Amino acid sequence: DPNTPRSLREQLDAASTSASDNVKVVVRVRPSDADEAQGSLQQLSGTQVSIVSAHEHLRTYEFDNVLGPATSQEDTFKVVGSPFVAHLLQGFNVTLFAYGQTAAGKTHTMTGNLKDRSQVGLAPRLLEQLFLEISNAEASEGEGKVKFTVKISYLELYKEEITDLLGPADAPRLQLREDVHSGVYVEGLTEREILNAGDAMAVVEQGSARRRTNETRMNQESSRSHAVLTVYIESWTKADESEVECIRSSRLNLVDLAGSERNKSSGATGERLKEACSINQSLTTLGRVISELVEAQQAQQQGSPARHIPYRESRLTFLLQDSLGGNSKTLIIACVSPAEAAAAESASTLEFAARAKRIRNRARVNRDTRGDAALLRAEIERLRRELELRD
């Protein structure tokens, strides 16, 4: 009977699931440097871009958005950052990846210039809006009815080794662990509690400065390192009548990937190539995971059984496996240079992005079982009272 009010359980389930959704892909084209021959890319519309270089086959790609070279940091945030804040507060996981060759604008997009307010990137802007919406939610729900906690961790992954960018400088390398409650996590990684946007900015600055110091030590090789900034959000709400607690938790991963330039263009062979492969094992595996996932999901739709996906073959894909084909709303920002000399790399970045766009994820609201169990206990209590009234 469609008029029967839905049970509490049904209401819970409805709020906890969402239909499967494709990974979103946005291309950001960097402005060209004055001394570069330009014109390898042509933007055809707000969603279409072509490679027009003499050396690459002309091909047109369609994405969720194409942000041209004149797009400001603020407008980039409006398209690829701001829409996710509400999802995070509802309890959905969100992952943003920046992919592209070295100097294509990944770090500019993710962190930007932290010394210049108009030039800060997605991380500080997302955190600022997050705290704004948290204080709005706390104000509209009323005193003591809802409470949020926010924590941040920031790590660097280089040659498959994890460094804590918020830990002491002499901290040991960290290991990945997995358990049924927490899923995959980095053991011993610093999680800093953050009370406001100012705190958040200080932590982003601290970790980013550490990454730059490491870069100098590694002889400018940081283009081969990945950075993962994670924001953990937990909310606690108390419903009026039922006196029941509900705990939601979500996380935001901001992933600034290593430069995607292919080994062949760096001229590496033999031992050097092997080294390059191990440095970039995470990036290589990311590409494989995406290809195999797209094939496996397509086969599954045609009735084939689930296939094994090699998430565990790199630290990056193991840590972020939920972001690829799992419980997360995921967006990839493909950063490209318009320079003629970069045409082959830009083509390869767009190919990668086009493949990734076919991945389907299934994001759901993360509610703590304590909350669910409490709601169910309240429902049992209500039914029992109903039965007692009938007797």
Residues that bind ligand ADP (CB under 6 A): 30-31, 100, 102-108, 223, 259, 335
Task: Give me the residue whose beta carbon is nearest to Mg ion.
Answer: 107
Say if CB 322 and CB 309 are below 8 A apart: no
101 binds Mg ion (CB under 5 A): no
Residue 103 interacts with, from ligand ADP, Mg ion, none (CB under 5-8 Å by kind): ligand ADP
109 or 235: CB nearest ligand ADP: 109
- Alpha-carbon gap, residue 345 to 108, rounded angstroms: 18
Q: Of 391, 318, 382, which Cα lies nearest the Cα of 162?
A: 318
Of 89 and 255, CB closest to ligand ADP: 255
Query: From CA 294, how far away is CA 74, in angstroms rounded?
Result: 33
Q: Two tokens at 316? A: 């990056």
Q: Please, which residues bridge with residue 60 across strands?
A: 50
Please state the closest distance from residue 25 (CB atom) to ligand ADP, in A.
17
Whole-number Å distance between alpha carbons of 74 and 116: 13
Nearest distance from C-beta of residue 264 to ligand ADP, angstroms: 19
Measured in degrees and rounded to the nearest 5, phi and psi for residue 49 equal -145, 145
Distance CA 156, CA 169 (A): 13
Q: How far is the CB of 284 from ligand ADP (least distance, A)?
A: 18
- Cα within 13 Å of Cα(245), Cβ side: 9
Residue 104 contact partner, candidates ligand ADP, Mg ion, none, CB within 5 to 8 A by sort of partner: ligand ADP
Minimum separation from the CB atom of position 157 to Mg ion (A): 13
Name the residue with the smallest CB distance to ligand ADP: 105
Q: What's the rounded Cα separation, in Å, for the pair 347 and 190?
A: 38
- By beta-carbon proximity to ligand ADP, the closer residue of 8 and 103 is 103
Site for Mg ion contains 107 (CB under 5 A):
yes
| Minimum CB distance to Mg ion smaller for 99 or for 311 | 99
Return residues touching Mg ion (CB under 5 A): 106-107
